[in-house]
Every structure is written in C-alpha cells, then in structure tokens.
Amino acid sequence: MRSRQLLFLCIATALAGQTLFAADPAAVESLLKERIIDPKLPLQEVENFCEARVLPMPEVKTPAEWEEHVRNLRRSVFERVVFRGAAAGWRDAKTNVEWTGEIEGGPGYRIRKLRYEALPGLWIPALLYEPLELKGKVPVVMNVNGHDGNGKAAAYKQIRCINQAKRGMLALNVEWLGMGQLRGEDYVHYRMNQLDLCGTSGLAPFYLSMQRGLDVLLAHENADPKHVAVAGLSGGGWQTIVISALDERVTLSDPVAGYSSYVTRVRNHSDLGDSEQTPVDLAATADYKHLTAMRAPRPTLLTFNAKDQCCFKADHALPPLMEAARPIFALYGKADHLRSHVNEDPGTHNFELDNRQQLYKMFGDFFFAEAAEFDWKEIASDGEVKTAEELQVPLPEQNCSFHSLAVGLAAELPRDGALPTTKDEAQTWQAKREAVLADLVRFDRADVQATVTGQKEAGGVTATLWRLRVGGNWTLPAVELVAGKPSGTTILIADEGRAAASKQAAALLDRGQRVLAVDPFYLGESKIASRDFLFGLLVSSVGERPLGVQAGQLAAVSRWAREQFSEGAPTIAAVGPRTSLMALVAAALAREDVGGLELSGSFGSLKQILEQNMSVQQAPDLFCFGLLERFDILQLAALTAPRKLEFVAADERVRKELAPLAAWYELWGAADAAPRLE
C-alpha cells in the first residue's frame, strides 16, 4: 500500500513539474547553523543606528532664543512623549489627597502619612516631614528614590528628609512605582510598555506621580513657591532631572547618579536604563543634555560618583552634560548656578553623607543665603530612622498598576476595528489603513545589497550563504536552501532564529520550495549578545520602532528575492508569535513583494500580550506604540487580502478571533485563498 501511495505521489509531483525530495532535517539544520556575520556586528549596527538619531544641542546666542527653544521643546515632550493617548485626560484630573495618620518623628518635627492620586485609581503613598514650629513661608523639597526595594523607608533617604525638616523645611518622601509599598509584578517598570501598546504613554504614570507630589507640597499653607527643590538617587536622579526640567515650579535640583546623554548611553551600556529612562520618542524629541540645559538659570547640582558600580559613572556621564548646559547658564550670567560634584567617598552608587552634605550646601547658598547660622554639615539622626512597618501608609485594595491600566484601556481596542462589508469600501479601507500602519511602525522602504559569502552541501541540499545589506543600516544573515529545481520561494523566519526552524525548512524543501532562511533584527544570528532588550527600547526612543525595522527588512528582502530568483513574489513563513506579527506587517505594507503568508504559532489577538502579562524584556518588538489602539491581528490579516494567508495548526483563540476572515475573502472574490484555520 505504501509503495502505491509513493508511486501516486511521484506521478502527481512529476505532473506538477516538481522533483520528489525528502530533506533530512538534521542535514538542513547543519546548513542553517552556518555563521554568516560577525557576532559583534548586530551591536555595532544598532549603536550606529541609534547614535545617528540623537538630537544635537541647538545653537543659540541669547536667552530669548533659548527660551523660545525651551517653550517649543517642553510642549513637544509633553505632546509627543508624556501625555499621549489616555494620559491627556489623566493630566487634567484633580489631585486627590488623603491624610491617613501621623507618627512622632524626632526632635522638632513630625511625620504625617498621606496618599495621593497620581492618576484616577493609582494612589501613591508618601510621608511629609513637617517642622513643629512653622512660621510663614518655608522651602519645600520633594525627595524621590530609585531602584531600592526599601523604597521610602531607605535609611539614607529618611536621614535626608529628617535633616531637611530640622532645618525648617517641608520634606516630602514619596514612594516610587515598583519600589517599597508599590512593589509587585504589575508595577515592574518593564510593564509600563503595555500602556504603550495601547497608544497611551507608559511614561505618564511616572511623570504624574512627580507632578502630583509637587502639587501636594505647594498646597501646604507654609510652602514657599520660590524655594522648591527635588533630589534623588539613581532612578530618583532620573526623576529629578525630568520633573526639574519640565516643571517650571522646581527652583533647585540635585539629580544624583541618575542619567546621562543618549549619545553616552549608546557606547556605555551600563547607562542604557529601564523603560522609563528610555521612553518612546524621547530621544527623538529631547536628549538628556537638553533637559539639563533647560534648568538654566535655576540652581542645579549634578552629582555623580567616581567609582559607581551601577551606572552613570562620573568620568563618562558628567562631562557631556556640563559641556551642553554650561554655555546656556552663561547666557544668563549665572554660570555659578550650575554646579557639579564627584563623590570619592565611598565613590560607589550612593546618596550617603558626602553627597547629602553637598545638597545641604546648595540649600545654604540658594535657600538660606541670608541665614548666617545655617550649617551645611549633617545633623546626626541615625537613631530616628523608622522601620518600613512604622512608615506604612494604607492603600486601596485595588490600587491601579501598569498592567491593570493597560487591560482597562485594551477592553475598547482597537478603535474602529469593524471590517467593511462591500468591496469598494474594503479597497478604500485597505489603502487608508496601510498608510496608518506605515506611520505607526515607522515603515521605511529600503534596498538590498547582497553578497554571497559561501556555499555548502549536505544531504542533497545546496546552501548559499548570503549577507544582505538593508538600507545601509543593517546586515542580515540569510541561508538559501535548494534541492532540485524550485517552483517558488519561501522566506523562512523564526522567533528562535533560523537554526531552530530546520523541520519547517525541510518540509518546505519537500514541497519544492527554494527556502531563504533569514534572521531579522533582534533574532537568531542578528540577536544582540548582551542587554538586547535595552537596545530595543532605545530604537523606539530615537523615533523608530523595532517592529517597523523588522517589517522593513522583510519587505526589502522579499523584493530582492522576487527580483533575484524570478519566481514571483515569495511567501513568508513565520514560526512563532513575534515573527508572525512582523510578517503580517510586512505583507500589509509590501503588497507587490509578499505573495502570501504561512504563520505558525501566531497570536489570535494582541490582547494575549496583556493576558500573559508580558514585559518588554521578553519581546520589545511586540510593544509597538499604539499598535493595539488601531489594529489587532484580525485587522492586520485583513490587509493581506486577497493573497494567500494560512495559519498553521491554528489554536482555538486564532480560530475564534479570525473567523471573520472567511467572509472578508469572499468579499474580495478570493474564497480559495481564505485563511485555513484548522
């Protein structure tokens, strides 16, 4: 019986003009594993790509020119980065404050507990260190903290607040998202990008937490609006420069070991920073050099550490910031208002005694200049440090998080997701949606320069090794596999890299396909060896999108393959949800160059990213800003019609979500090409 089936298969194959072949997956795998590019090349290329897109400082000659630039810059950062999507509405919400109790502090001050609403449903716990003898208007300080699990209970932070209160200042100790009382999986900073996927700025909760903290301080009847300071370490230093640059109420700023220029970060990988440090489109709008210079002429102390073992080491982080900001302060005749301090003792990542006393000196010079008795030396207060339990602030049981906010937003997405019901409407819909998608993913049509680097043979399969230079920015490794005379070309991509797709490659060869196995940006041989997801964030911050880079590469390779092999527009076969998504986008935006899709392991809906509570660490390309706001898998798949679209081994979710495609393909008169969802 088996020999008869084989005979029939031989006859059918011969009639189809193909040669029967059974590829050995092991032999195919050995060919796919051939290294084509230098392991260091993906990193070098992404560094060059990002560095070229960081904005330089403007040339200005007068304070008036600079102030006009700052007004435009501040507006752009708010509109293009901080308050996008639902965040525009959060910005206008009332700052609700609830005072929850009071505990004894130490000599001369008390600690009042409070929580305030950063945005509707997200409450921030905080502590106000309040002098007992308050008269008239006094300076206020917002103390922010970085990546310290102790959060607001960190001893070095408590001592700083205590010292401020003992000097007659109002000191607010605010908790940071993901730290202290706000620790938890749903507050992990790499989940802020879930909001980005929904078209709402993931940076907004961070910024609004700081803005509302200042609201709380300045609402105090004894607050002096002319003397408002912010200070913090590490992530607190980042918070400090961001709020101090963008909120004009901050009159004195001391960011400690918290940031560096994007150009610095590209080459000093310890500085790359988390999602909030590298938010979508910030580097395309304002570098941290700009934010530093925006402080002029307000008093600013840049504090860094000489032997910092974490990040933002003084020798590379500080000089570019001073170089950018110093001329701007000088324009105002206030060069002395920009100061720097490099800590040598202990010199590590810290806000300990030496760094704290530098802050107290700033207070003395700019807040207490007329107070002859002011002493910048720290007042010993170690015995007054409280436990985390003593400083606990009650929070609502269902306090919002990055994840819950994103899930809430996603419930109504995508906007305008219904498919048209007539062919004329469908054609118009496709044209309009293609333009929206191209802009959303920052799609760029690029040419390919191809170089053969070698040939191999195993098990009757010939492999040609290609270096494909795409758009002058990226070098993609590709392995062309051929057995006999191909009847068509399939581009094969896989989440785990081309070497992990040997079975799929063998099956395609058995079907008479020329297989071009490619590793797009970020995957397989094109994967960055270390801290790769941070470069994914950086690509988005400089105004591009990892998903758009990948889709653009696939479209370019497809066009090259169509011209190179003269076998018609190739099919793209993708293995995994990430490559399936980039294949859908490429097919939607390269109509003439992609002949069809075979997707294995695709999501049925982008909402599965949220349902699985994924973070940007796992797959930066999945978190393309605003993608779910305008498209789900159904809408992306609809853009491929009437070309062949197949979902291999579709699961129940895929079948449910994509069932409308059958009627959609009938609308195009292409029922035969309708997606198979079995």
What pLDDT does 20 receive? 58
Average pLDDT, the chain: 95
Name the residue among 171, 166, 61 with its Cα closest to residue 384: 166
What pLDDT does 1 receive? 40
What pLDDT does 78 receive? 98
What pLDDT does 622 receive? 98
Name the residue among 387, 395, 353 with its Cα closest to residue 153: 387
Cis omega (within 30 of 0) for bond into 642? yes
Name the residue among 464, 417, 381 with its Cα closest to residue 106: 381
Percent residues over pLDDT 90 in the chain: 93
pLDDT at 179 over 60: yes
Residues 6+ apart with CB under 8 A from 525: 35, 36, 37, 42, 477, 497, 498, 519
What is the C-alpha to C-alpha distance for residues 362 and 306, in angstroms, rounded to an integer? 20
- Tens-digit pLDDT profile for residues 634-668: 999 999 999 999 999 899 999 999 999 999 999 99
What is the C-alpha to C-alpha distance for residues 233 and 176, in angstroms, rounded to an integer? 12
What pLDDT does 170 receive? 98
What pLDDT does 6 receive? 38
Percent residues over pLDDT 70 in the chain: 97
| Helix ranges, 418-545 (H) | 423-441, 502-510, 532-541
Other beta carbons within 10 Å of 404: 15
Cis omega (within 30 of 0) for bond into 125? no
pLDDT at 10 over 80: no
Six token digits for residue 209: 């937490």
Six token digits for residue 312: 């933002």
pLDDT at 675 over 90: no
Residues in the chain: 678
- Tens-digit pLDDT profile for residues 282-293: 999 999 999 999
pLDDT at 18 over 50: no
- Tens-digit pLDDT profile for residues 49-65: 999 999 999 999 999 99
- Tens-digit pLDDT profile for residues 205-238: 999 999 999 999 999 999 999 999 999 999 999 9
Name the residue among 75, 73, 94 with its Cα closest to residue 83: 75
pLDDT at 381 over 60: yes
**pTM assigned to the model:** 0.95
pLDDT at 673 over 90: no
Q: How confident is the model at residue 11 (pLDDT cuts 50, 70, 90)?
A: very low
Longest dimension (CA), the chain: 105
Name the residue among 466, 485, 486 with its Cα closest to residue 476: 466
Q: How confident is the model at residue 409 (pLDDT cuts 50, 70, 90)?
A: very high
Q: How confident is the model at residue 672 (pLDDT cuts 50, 70, 90)?
A: confident
- Tens-digit pLDDT profile for residues 458-496: 999 999 999 999 999 999 999 999 999 999 999 999 999
User: Can you list the domains of the chain with their CATH numbers?
Assistant: 29-51+441-673 (3.40.50.1820), 63-368+401-410 (3.40.50.1820)
- Tens-digit pLDDT profile for residues 524-543: 999 999 889 999 999 999 99
- Token pair 């899930």 is found at 407
